Amino acid sequence: MSDLQVKGAGFAQKIFDDVREMSRDVLGVTRQGYSAKETEVHNYLRTIGESLNLEIVTDRAGNIWMTLPGEDRTLPAFVSGSHADSVPQGGNYDGLAGVVAALTVAWYMRETNYTPKRDYTVLVMRCEESSFFGKAYVGSLGMFGQLTEKDINLKHRDGSCTLGEAMASCGVDLKDVTGGQPLIDVAKIAAFVELHIEQGPTLDSQESARAGVVTGIRGNIRHKAVRILGEAAHSGATDKPYRHDALMAFTDLIHRMDVAWDEWLANGEDLVFTVGVLKMASSAAISVIPGEVTFSVDIRSLSTDTVERFDALLQKTAEEVAAARGVKIEFDAKLFTKPSGVDAQLSDALEASAKLENIPCMRLASGAGHDSAVLGNNGLPVAMIFVANQLGSHNPYEAMELKDFMQGTDILWASVCHFDD
């Protein structure tokens, strides 16, 4: 183990433990974007930056930038970080790991009296998760002025407020984040590297490579609420030919899409398809034929063409099922996030840094979306480091071994040190 891995582990663990305690919710943690709890976590992370004597500013979207000055301040900065919010009752490491890794590198620079050639900046972003308002990457889109009126009018899942109202409560001027102009000077950023837990099983199944370099970030098309409207009726008095069963229509539709998914995978398409939410009408009962079903759809791929064609197939298949089952299927407006490539040269540099530190490393795609996609789609060179984690993600059982995290942090450290070689 390197000096950083040995000495930095305690620093990192304390931040993980502190943030977990301040955001604990039943088994997991809850840090809603643009909430008082997320603000509390941001303020705590700011105090860490202050203790490291970093220069700290908050952009007009509410993201925190904490900079350790480099030797040549005319050069654009090397930036690293992630988001600090979470899904409801989720895991502690999704997003936070990237922030802690970036802070640990800054801590080690101070610990060893190391001054990088260019500024090194820790970026803590707000509201990456879509769970509460149905919109992902809010903080990063906001910093580019790319939120829309439709976005800020999205309702909270409990109906208590809109996204815009939540942002305004945290001091954000909505005109800034919807103005179409960047709120940051992109010319002052040389590269952005985001460390993140993989959120899948690939790295954790490896015996040697517990860290990875990402090859691309899947985009997605999402529908928050697709409604199937049938006809509620007595379960015993209505024979099959006379039924308009919304739930059976749902199972028919999803079975057909599952078969299509297998076919597309067999043809070499990169594709994942998920129904994450399924709701019955409030009148549902054991003796009532379901008259209404609402469900969500999440389609992801490294290819924009693939997600668009699969979404079109979903809607065409829905028409066929509706006609066959005597129901009506209504789609809400789709939410689209573009796939993002990563910078090849920067990714190669991460892999080279891993080799310099004698850390086994592999290449893999990111199935989940990340703020890096927003920064990359706005012209910034981006790359990602994945570290192994256990028990999945977006659940309270999400786990991560500190030794794996420290290996990823060591790759980040080496990439900063050798960026100008």
**DSSP per-residue codes, 342-407:** --HHHHHHHHHHHHHTT--EEEEEE-S--HHHHHHHTT--EEEEEE--BS-SSSTT-B--HHHHHH
Task: Return the pLDDT at 226.
Answer: 98
- State how far the alpha carbon of 319 is from the alpha carbons of 42, 249, 255, 362, in Å: 47, 11, 15, 43
Same domain, 227 and 117: no
Question: Of 337, 364, 392, at which residue does a domain stop?
Answer: 337
Residue span of the structural domain in which 253 resides: 220-337
Task: Return the pLDDT at 337.
Answer: 85
HSE (side-chain half, CA atoms, 13 Å) at 102: 34
Same domain, 293 and 363: no
The H-or-E segment that residue 125 falls in is: strand 120-125
Same domain, 26 and 169: yes
The pairing of strands 77-83 and 64-68 is unpaired
Same domain, 225 and 374: no
Report the amino acid identity of residue 48: I
Question: Of 310, 337, 364, at which residue does a domain stop?
Answer: 337
Report the amino acid identity of residue 164: G
Task: Return the pLDDT at 251.
Answer: 98
Q: Give me the CATH number covering residue 275.
A: 3.30.70.360
Sign of CA pseudo-dihedral 380, 419, 93, 171: negative
Same domain, 20 and 110: yes
- pLDDT (tens digit, 0 to 9) for every residue of the chain, 421 residues total? 899 999 999 999 999 999 999 999 999 999 999 999 999 999 999 999 999 999 999 999 999 999 999 999 999 999 999 999 999 999 999 999 999 999 999 999 999 999 999 999 999 999 999 999 999 999 999 999 999 999 999 999 999 999 999 999 999 999 999 999 999 999 999 999 999 999 999 999 998 999 999 999 898 999 999 999 999 999 999 999 999 999 999 999 999 999 999 999 999 999 999 999 999 999 999 999 999 999 999 999 999 999 999 999 999 999 999 999 999 999 999 989 888 889 999 999 999 999 999 999 999 989 888 999 999 999 999 999 999 999 999 999 999 999 999 999 999 999 999 999 9
- State how far the alpha carbon of 14 is from the alpha carbons of 83, 186, 376, 397, 402, in Å: 18, 33, 31, 19, 11
Tokens of 365: 């795609």
Angle at which helix 402-417 crosses helix 96-111, to 10 degrees, equals 60
Same domain, 325 and 202: no
Q: What angle do CA 56, 369, 314 make, to 5 degrees?
A: 150
Q: In the chain, what is the straight-line distance between the N-terminal and C-terminal CA atoms, in Å?
A: 24
Same domain, 213 and 230: no
Q: Give me the CATH number covering residue 44.
A: 3.40.630.10
Task: Return the pLDDT at 312.
Answer: 98
Task: Return the pLDDT at 1.
Answer: 87
Tokens of 91: 């895991």
Question: Of 317, 337, 357, at which residue does a domain stop?
Answer: 337
Task: Return the pLDDT at 390.
Answer: 97
Task: Return the pLDDT at 237.
Answer: 97
Nearest to 257 by CA among 184, 183, 219, 310: 310
Task: Return the pLDDT at 52.
Answer: 98
Same domain, 249 and 297: yes
Same domain, 275 and 374: no
Tell me how far apart the alpha carbons of residues 176 and 353 are, in angstroms, rounded to a whole number: 38
Task: Return the pLDDT at 74.
Answer: 98
Task: Return the pLDDT at 338.
Answer: 84
Report the amino acid identity of residue 189: I
Same domain, 209 and 121: yes
Please tell me the total count of domains within the chain: 2
Q: Are the C-beta atoms of 66 and 106 separated by less than 8 Å?
A: yes
Task: Return the pLDDT at 217.
Answer: 87
Indicate the SS3 state at residue 93. coil
Task: Return the pLDDT at 379.
Answer: 93
- Residue 111, burial from CB neighbour count under 10 angstroms (0-12, 13-18, 19+): middle
Task: Return the pLDDT at 4.
Answer: 97
Same domain, 345 and 230: no
Same domain, 110 and 60: yes
